[in-house]
Amino acid sequence: MSRKKIALVGAGNIGGTLALLAGLKDLGDIVLFDVVDGVPQGKALDIAQLSTVAGFDSKLAGSSKYTAIKGADVVIVTAGVARKPGMSRDDLLGINIKVMQAVGEGIKKNCPNAFVICITNPLDAMVWVLQQASGLPANKVVGMAGVLDSARFRLFLAEEFNVSVEDVSAFVLGGHGDTMVPMVRYSTVAGIPLPDLIKMGWITRKRLNEIVDRTRNGGAEIVGLLKTGSAFYAPAASAINMAESYLKDKKRVLPCAVSLNGQYGVRGMYVGVPVVIGAGGAERVVELQLNASEKAMLNKSVGSVKGLVDVCKGIMKGTPAKPAAAKAPAKKAPVKKAPAKKAAAKAPGKTTVKKAVAKAAAKPAAAVKKVAAKAATTAKAAVKKTVAKKPAVKKPAAPKAAAKPKPAARKAPVKKAAAKTTAARKAPAKKPAAPKAAPKAAPKTTPKKA
């Protein structure tokens, strides 16, 4: 029996962690793909060297050519950009939609039988674009968010009750944004539902509401702390759970973004719901009986996802849509003090794409409407030329220091390619090349608490 092949599209923070976890679990052979040449190769080599210490036999490879993902059984997509303080996930749409279209094409050509897990944000809209662009059956393309959001909810509850995380189970439904719906009635400690625990005096309703809010803002809380990007360990572990359930046909019931076909009153859109993940992909949606308030919360969340999907449809048709969700601005990750802004403006990885992303945030992108406007100009003006086409990311220009190595460096048996890798890490352009019309300033947003 041949080993399974796992392709990781995007070799950034989550991509690298995915490779490590997939290796440690010996899920199969792993290929990292990224448009920044050198990074996937470097991470693959590093983890391959770790395999001898950790004791696993996965083969690792890195590439910036799509042919490397040929025949993959599972593809996990993290390609694109992540948010920084002052941005909402929705601000990423204009850049990441182009990335999803390019990645979808790559998957269609090279591994049309794969099970695809999308992680790129804004998740529910991006997984929809990826499915459309790849042309894969909807049951073979899913989004990761619910496992992560539920994991956060479980952790906060376990800490509150001072019990093992193993004995806390929790579900979060809906889109991966601030309107997500942590399902209090279906969340339990050792099988005891949270409403019963309120009656038993373990927790007050007020305190539980605070935990629900913290869960909804779980991503923003980490962005506010990291300042340079978003969470990556827990997101990677969550996607690995999904991949493992598919590869081993475990049939785990996991909250994932799946394409609904009438369930929960939704059709043709990706929304987070519990689903059985097995060898058939997303095999069966679990349709919970919701009460009136849960239904209202889910409908609100579905409305926000629909607004973003409409924006995507407009961009894909070349006619940016008037989004339905314009009145529900997505919350932004908190900006703490000035240094956060400076970091965004001066970060060594600052590239034209980052400028484009910053531009999205610089405008008061409080409403999806503005995301649409920005996305349309960005997409047409430049990203189309760069991200969507073959060198979706320009190879980073080697800084002078790398071009003229110091004598000590010259002595080292460093191959050209290795020098490139080093350059790639140091170069100011790690991300896809992007529009010249970049913003002058870092995001002008009102600081908000997570």
Ligand X SMILES: NC(=O)C1=CN([C@@H]2O[C@H](COP(=O)(O)OP(=O)(O)OC[C@H]3O[C@@H](n4cnc5c(N)ncnc54)[C@H](O)[C@@H]3O)[C@@H](O)[C@H]2O)C=CC1
Ligand Y SMILES: O=C([O-])CC(=O)C(=O)O
Annotated catalytic residues are 176
Closest distance to ligand X from the beta carbon of 292 (Å): 28
Sheet holding 29-33, edge to edge: 60-63, 29-33, 5-9, 74-77, 115-118, 141-143, 252-261, 267-278, 281-285
Contact 52, 110 (CB under 8 A): no
Strands 29-33 and 5-9: parallel
**What does 122-158 look like in DSSP terms, one character per residue?**
SHHHHHHHHHHHH---GGGEEE--HHHHHHHHHHHHH
Q: Which of 7, 47, 151, 222 binds ligand Y (CB under 6 A)?
A: 222
SS3 content of the chain, % helix, strand, coil (to 5): 50, 15, 35
Look at residue 232 and give the partner it binds from ligand X, ligand Y, none, a contact being a CB closer than 5 to 8 Å depending on partner kind. ligand X
Buried b (16+ CB within 10 A) or exposed e, 375-408: bbbbbeebbeebbbeeebbbbbebeeebeeeeee
- The site string for ligand X over 275-294 (x = CB under 6 A, - otherwise) reads --------------------
15 binds ligand X (CB under 6 A): yes
- With CB under 5 to 8 Å by kind, the binding choice for 15 among ligand Y, ligand X, none is ligand X
Task: Build a one-symbol-per-residue string for 92-131: x at contacts with ligand X by CB under 6 A, - elsewhere.
Answer: x---x--x--xx---------------xxx-x--------
> 222 is written with which tokens?
């980490």
Region from 187-195, 219-227, 295-303, 347-355 binding ligand Y, contact rule CB under 6 A: 219-227
Tell me the closest approach of the beta carbon of residue 20 to ligand X, in angstroms: 13
Q: Which does 36 bind (CB under 5 to 8 A by kind): ligand Y, ligand X, none?
A: ligand X
Q: Tell whether residue 13 is among the known ligand binding residues.
A: yes
How many residues bind to ligand X according to rule CB under 6 A? 41
The smaller minimum CB distance to ligand X, of residues 35 and 212, is found at 35
Closest residue to bound ligand Y by CB: 219
CB of 393 to ligand X, least distance (A): 5
**Residue indicated by tokens 């019990």:** 163
Q: Which residue type occupies 142?
A: V
Per DSSP, what are the bridge partners of residue 138?
A: none
Choice from 83, 332, 354, 374 touching ligand Y (CB under 6 A): 83
Question: Which position among 28, 38, 42, 80 is part of the footprint of ligand X (CB under 6 A)?
Answer: 80
Q: Coil, strand or helix: which one is 7?
A: strand
219 binds ligand Y, rule: CB under 6 A = yes
Q: Are strands 141-143 and 115-118 parallel, antiparallel or unpaired?
A: parallel
Q: Which stretch binds ligand X (CB under 6 A): 3-11, 41-49, 67-75, 269-277?
A: 3-11
Give CA–CA dist 393/102, Å, rounded. 11
* Residue 277 · residue 267 · CB < 8 Å: no
Q: What is the DSSP letter of 2?
A: P
Per the annotation, does 121 bind a ligand? yes
- Asked whether the bond before 85 is cis by omega within 30 degrees of 0, the reply is no
Is position 120 an interface residue for ligand Y (rule: CB under 6 A)?
Answer: no
Least distance in Å: CB of 330 to ligand Y?
11
Q: Which residues pair with 33 in a beta bridge?
A: 9, 63
Binding site per annotation, positions for substrate: 83, 89, 121, 152
Binding site per annotation, positions: 10-15, 34, 83, 89, 96, 119-121, 152
Binding stretches for ligand X (CB under 6 A): 9-15, 34-36, 39, 78-83, 92, 96, 99, 102-103, 119-121, 123, 144-145, 148, 176, 229-232, 235, 387, 392-393, 430-432
Binding stretches for ligand Y (CB under 6 A): 82-83, 89, 121, 148, 176, 218-220, 222-223, 230-231, 235
